[in-house]
Structure formats: structure tokens, C-alpha cells
Structure 1
Amino acid sequence: MATTVRKHILVVGLGNYTHPGTRHNVGMMVVDSIAQRFNVPWSEKSSWKAEVATAHTSIATRHRATPPPSPNAHVGKKSLRSSAADTVSDTTAGAAAEAPTSTTPVVVKKKEPWVTSTLELTITLLKPLQLMNISGTSVSKAAKDLGIPAQDIVVIHDDMERDIGKLSFKSEGSANGHNGIKSCVKALGTAHFRRLRIGIGRPPISDRSPKVVAGYVLGRFKPLEVEKLEELVYDKVGDEIIRVSTTAEKKTKA
């Protein structure tokens, strides 16, 4: 027995398109790595004001079929007690009655057949070509044209509150001051979309004034930091996105 489910997700990499290699641009760097993994080319979509790449993958799982309900499931405890009492009465009636013999059949539990479920996953990768604080319009336009609901959107962005290379999924909630996420919430009209936050570390000083923070996030990654991204992020993020999408599909079916 086999079943096939098709699903389409939108994976957005936020960043400053004109500032490659900067910390604020890590979302775009990550979707570039996903496109490279699937060996899919980028093309410009002028109506979305974005660059787009589309990948396809299949995830197959194997499990036992759900057994049908037991035919005796409707029998209540009360009727079972009555049957037991009747048996005792019948076997004790008369002095010459022979000892009862067990007539309970041996039940052999039948294993249900294996079921193979295949998830055919289409992944549209998106890099907005607009400024960070208005990038949400590219996301909402793509989602509308592709017919992708908000819960099937994953937005990848930088997170200064986590160490370099640390990954964290978030299903919804506030933007935590990130202008790109603010723009996505406004354009989509909802905060119920997934975010994958990529740690970029913190400024090495205690001063968190807007000028210092802007200088840090707009600064370029150091060579050792790029190595960490390659080791901790690039090889894992595609698998994490697929895992979350597969898990969400199982929950929806359940």
C-alpha cells in the first residue's frame, strides 16, 4: 500500500542584496547554499521584485497501517460481568456436573500491512531585491501567486542574540526588532509563519546603540565566521527545513 502527498513551501532568505557577505545578509547566504545543494539556478522574477529558484525532493516513510476497530469494542463492562456470572451459575448447577473446560479461542494478533507514504516537496527559494524594511511585499506577492499559505512559509534571517551558526526555529510571534520580519508580518497580514533564525554573534563591546548595532550587522563576516557557517549551518539548514515541513505534514494528516 502506498500514498503520495504533494506540498509546496516558500523559503525566503532576508538580507541586503547589494551588500553580499555581510552579517545582515546571512538569510540570503543560506538560501544560496540550499540552491547550490539542489543544483538549481536563480532567475529574476520582476513581478515579485526578487530572485527565485525552485527545487524538488521526495521524502518516503514506511509504517504499519492503522488497525480497524475491534468488533467487540462496543461490549461494555456490565455485559462482560453478566456473562461471567452466567457461566458460574451453569457450571455449579447439579452435583454431577463435570468441571468446565476452557473454550476460549487463542487469538493470534494479525499484523497490519506496511504503508509507504511519500511526500513530494516543492521548495521555492526567494531572495527579495528590495530594501530590508519593505522586503515583505516580495514575500506576500510570491505567496499569493503560488497559492502558498502563511504556515508553509519559512523566512530565514539573522539573529544577533545567538552565537554564530546557532539555529532556532520559531513558528510565530513578534519580530524582535527585525525590520525584515516586521515587513513580512505587515505584508502577509499575519505573524503565523515560520522563521529560521541564524546566529551571527554580538558586537564585542557592551555598547548596543543603534549606530554600533548597525555597524556590526552591516559588517562583513570574518573568514573564521564563514567557516563556522559552512560547518554549522549550510550542511544542516536544508535538512532542518525539510524535517520541519515533514513533521508539520504529519501533524496535519493526524
Structure 2
Amino acid sequence: MKMIIGLGNPGKPYEHTRHNIGFDVIDELSKRFNSPLNQMKFKGMYTIIHRPEGKFLLVKPLTYMNLSGECIVPMMNYFDVAEEDIVVIYDDLDLAVGKLRLRQKGSAGGHNGIKSMIQHLGTQEFNRIRVGVDRPPAGMKVPDYVLSRFKSDEKPLMNEAITKSADACEVWLSSPFLEVMNRFNGA
């Protein structure tokens, strides 16, 4: 079984903010597979999807970003999902708006959701799809920036990034992540 995890914060005030791009990708996949996230376990919403390639979960931790690992690791243990069978989707300040970077391992790079994942998993080796949201403008604090919504000229780029991230997840269901990286990196 594989697990696709989108990081974000629960609740209306956080919907479609820069920090919730992982949730937006999960929503896109949920629509594609006509499978709403209507189950709860370990402080997370999820759905199980059965495909010819096998079963997989779509997951949104409801722990708030900084505690994402508290949801994911118990869920991985419960469903017997190995580290190599997860992909985590999240925002990245070091990439231009809408750019993707896929990696199989790495540090948290200052991202608190990934720090929590690394702390709870005990490893930095897990698949990731980082979605660029760019750096805040001069004078704006990072927390305020990541909790802001995209500007109108950024929305088309982000919609495309959501589509490409969801496409990458679909390809990963039947292909090694290395192949997915080669195909989607820099998209």
C-alpha cells in the first residue's frame, strides 16, 4: 500500500493559502478518483482508493502543520506502509511560484511540517514533492506570507502546479519514484 500525504493546516482561514498547497493537491486527487476524504484516524482525514496498481491512501493531517508527523507515523504503522511507499507534498519558499522539485531525501530546510515528519519517522529518506511558493516580499514575515493567499497573477501558475503534482502522484502509483522525479522535476 502507498500513501500520498498533503501537508497543511485545517480550517477555513487556511484554505488555499501558500502553506496549504499539499491539501490542495490531495483535494485534486480526491476529485480525480471520486473518493472524498471521509474517514478519520490518528488526527487525520483519509480515504483508501483501490486501483489496478494497488491500494493507496490520500491523507491530510489535521494536527496543524508543525505536528504533521504525529498523524502520519501512527497511520503508516496502522496500514503497514513503509517509508519508501509515502510521498509528502508541501510548500517551498526556495522555489519560484508554481515550480516543482521532487526528492527522495533531504533535510527539512526550515519547513516545520517536514521537521515533524523527520522527527517522528526517524529518517530524512522519504519521497517529497515540493511546490514553489517563492519568498515573501521585503518587510513581510514568513509566517504571515505562508498563511496568505496567492495573488491573482500567481493563481494560474499554482493551478498548473497542483495539476502537475497530482499527475506525478498518479504516475508514482505504477512507476518508481526515480522515474517520476526524472519526468516532473523542474516542471
TM-score by length of 2: 0.86
For the 8 Å contact 2:25–2:163, the answer to whether it is kept is no
Q: Give 1:250 deviation, angstroms.
A: 9.8
Extract unaligned runs of 5+ from structure 1: 1-7, 59-119
Q: 1:243 to 1:44 in 2, by over 3 A?
A: closer
Structure 2: gaps of 5 or more residues: 180-187
Hey, what does 2:120 align to over in structure 1? Answer: 187
Within the candidate set 118, 136, 143, 1:214 is matched to 143
Tell me the alpha carbon deviations over residues 151-183 of structure 1, each in whole angstroms, 9 at most, x when there is no partner: 111010000111111111110111101000010
Asked whether 1:225 is paired with 2:158, we answer no
Residue deviations 1:1-25, cap 9 Å, x none?
xxxxxxx211111011121121111
Q: Which residue of 2 aligns with 1:243?
A: 171
2:33 is matched with which residue?
A: 38
Amino acid at match of 2:153: L
Deviations 1:181-228 (A, max 9, x none): 0101111122111111011122232x5xxx611111111122332222
Could you tell me whether the CA contact under 8 Å between 1:48 and 1:141 is conserved in 2? yes
TM-aligned CA deviation for residue 245 of structure 1: 4.5
Which residue is equivalent to 1:201? 134
TM-score when normalising by structure 1: 0.65
Give the direction of change, closer, same or farther, for the CA distance of 1:225–1:250 in structure 2 (3 Å limit).
Answer: closer
The 8 Å contact of residues 133 and 183 in structure 1, kept in 2 or not, is answered as: yes
Q: Secondary structure at the match of 1:183?
A: helix
Distance in 1 (alpha carbons) for counterparts of 2:166 and 2:20? 18
Match of 2:24 in 1: 29
CA RMSD for the aligned pairs? 2.0
- Is the 1:31–1:125 contact (alpha carbons within 8 Å) kept by the matching residues of 2? yes
Match of 2:183 in 1: none
Which of the two has higher C-alpha Rg?
1
> AA paired with 2:174?
T
Q: Match for 1:212: what amino acid?
A: K
Counterpart AA for 2:58 = L
Q: Number of paired residues?
A: 177
Are 2:127 and 2:177, in contact at CA under 8 Å, matched by a contact in 1? no
Q: What is the percentage of aligned positions where both structures have the same residue? A: 37
CA distance, structure 2, for counterparts of residue 157 and residue 28 of structure 1: 8
Distance 2:110 2:178 in 1: 33
Map of 2:182 onto structure 1: none
- CA distance in 1 between counterparts of 2:174 and 2:104 reads 15
Q: Which amino acid aligns with 2:22?
A: G
